[in-house]
Structure 1
Amino acid sequence: RLKKISLDEESLAIAEEATALLDNMSYIISMLEEHPTSQKEFENQSINFSNKLKKIINSLEETVITQSLTTGNLEGEMEVDLDDILIRMSIKEIKKILDTDILKEDNLKFEMLQSVFNNEFNSQISNLTSNNLKSTISFTEVNNNSGKLVFIEDVLDREASTININREFVRPIFIDDPTVIDEISESIRIYLGGKKLSYNHKSYLIDLLKQTNSDENVFSKKKNDEMINAILKEVIDGNISINGRKSFYEIPYSDRNKKLSLSNLSTGMKSFSILSILKNSGAFNTVEYVILDEPEIHLHPEWQLKYAELIVLLSKYLNIKFLVTSHSPYFIEAIELFSMKHGIEGKVNYYKSKHTQNPNFYTIEDYTQRLSDIYDELAESMFDLQNLRDELELEEE
């Protein structure tokens, strides 16, 4: 249903600015929610957006906008859908947006926090095995500050949650799948049905891996990195190059300068390559935490030892906090012994998740002084195998 709106030149310019800003409102908010940004940057952008919109409202209030149903080509006229223009450009409707809670600073931050959980867990946050619609994450930090996040049917309950939303949040590097390195060569982020895929820990890691300089050798010249580089060279004895859509491993000792696509590396080599790229690109200098989810499962036992020593050395020399999950007593013991060897055993803590009296709840307890209990529990399956072996030997007799 097209009708004409006649605007003077000044009003037309202001209205077009309002339209453009409103067009981008949801995009701006989604960018703030999904993409890594410092707390200060987030606050500045949200305040700046709100101020811009208020300025446009003031300008519109001072300008007379006349509507005309004429069909002539008057100067300053533009063809629009009347229903659309009334929603998107009228002073009343834009004011309504300003009066809603969505642009309030704290609510924007809660929306960002909700978005992080939605993206990481595909909007399945609550416990599906419990009839209780409420799920709670309670925590106590190193400085003894405590808090909790309460979700009801996957939605963050702002009233019940006790978290300082104005605190500084940090984004960790989370590595749970070495094959993520296969996706470095993708030139653009994938879109489905015109909608951008969620920006989660995997997307963030891919972006960091792409930031390395082209043709950069994975071995730096710094003296304090010699031990780190020595371990890397035992596994990756060639250069890793990332240049635009091309990422490859230069095969050492090759007369014909052969290059192997990173996607064709073994999964074990990919595990080491990810740490190499992040280290030499400087990505480790921008984060405080690196989370490794069962890194040993893709590695030969010998390489498990090298990987354990590597993360100990990275933690020591680059001052990175590693959070490592593992079900392997072999790998955990390697972390313990290499931490002793390199003098940081006092900085390493060991934790274990335990059922509470309520089977739907877990607590994470400090087992640093009870490490033998972890070894005993994880070794139970070995005892089961030994018992089975004994039974089979008895049957043969």
Structure 2
Amino acid sequence: MTSTSRHVPVAIVGGGQAGLSVSYHLKQRGIEHLVFEKESAAHTWSTQRWDTFCLVTPNWQCDLPGHPYDGPDPHGFMKKDEIVAYLKGFVAKVNPPIREGVAVTRVERREDGLFSVRTSDGDYTASEVVVASGGYHTPIIPRMAEKLPGSVTQIHSNQYRNPAQLPAGAVLVVGSGQSGAQIAEDLHLAGRTVHLAVGDAPRCARFYRGRDVVTWLADMGYYEMTVDNHPLRDGVRDNTNHYVTGRDGGRDIDLRRFAREGMKLYGALDDYHDGTLRFRDNLKRSLDGADRTYNGINAAIDKYIAENDIQAPVQEPYTSVWEPGEPVTGLILAGSGITSIIWCIGFTPDFRWLDASVFNGAGSPKHKRGVTKEDGVYFIGLPWLHTWGSGRFGAVGRDAEFVAQAIQKRLGTERFALKFAV
């Protein structure tokens, strides 16, 4: 690092809602900082979502710092363009000191205790570094994809926009988490023949006993539960999100109903060999497990209603509307009509640019509500960083305030005047 390096007290890597929330709270404290964003502020919501994408949690849960949802439909679910507009409003309110189009390529500790921050636009030094780049960096596409014939179009869920972008023919959707289930529904509603390789994702009801399930769970304190108090502890961070949708005002996603309407369901996709797609014999177990979770959440709501003597309409437990027959563990691709595959099996994080002793053996950051044991290194915006809402609009602001307080304690506001010229 040369003597011409520019210094900033706090470097925030990532300009999504997490990084911008930290910027908001640092500005409140008069702490100089700079946000580095390799694309544009909050860009992923407009560039990596399909056309019919909408929130799966009610609008009232959108509570970014200084920018709560104040639209006309608090119990509705914002669509893609509405989410983008909401975030643009947040960016305007924060007015962050941000370098858009600047990628951070390396961060490491110097001998003098500062961090060297190498970017695509030159070198910086920083006293504190906030990692706000999220955990969804590299799309997961299995090696078996390399064996599939070139005539089959393959995309990842982050590339999917609408059914019209795919060639005519059937579509294989691999994975039934939130993205996979919603994309499968999008294709199904468009009249496409859909084959769905079902994973172990749980599901939940959209509405139960007269209210949105999210509203019940909020009243029950679920969203205030911290990772330390969760029965799974840190293991909850690896959980797959429940599939449900806010589309058309919100409804359940019931894969069994889709199957009854013609969607082809299989167990998890295991391999492609000798022209045949190989599936595990776990479809029934996966569907039954998802339904157990669904009914289990509803049973917890029943208990809460009874204990608090709440008047609410009675609703029966979910019962299966379709059962799988003899398991299909092999499907000859050439005769299936499948012309495209959408991989909906998630992402892997990539923190290789950060040289710091803050990772466990699996490459995941070790922290306490975003504060690591290495002085001056923080994380924000990761799933279950502290609570269920840490990676969402609902609670990322509170985590950002906690991180900003930790930074303030380390730096001391007396030494740093507020300077926002970039």
Question: Which interval holds the TM-score relative to the shorter structure?
Answer: under 0.3
- Work out which of the two has the higher radius of gyration on C-alpha atoms and give 1 or 2: 1
User: Which TM-score applies when normalising by structure 1?
Assistant: 0.22
Q: Which has the higher contact order (CA 8 A, sep 6+)?
A: 2
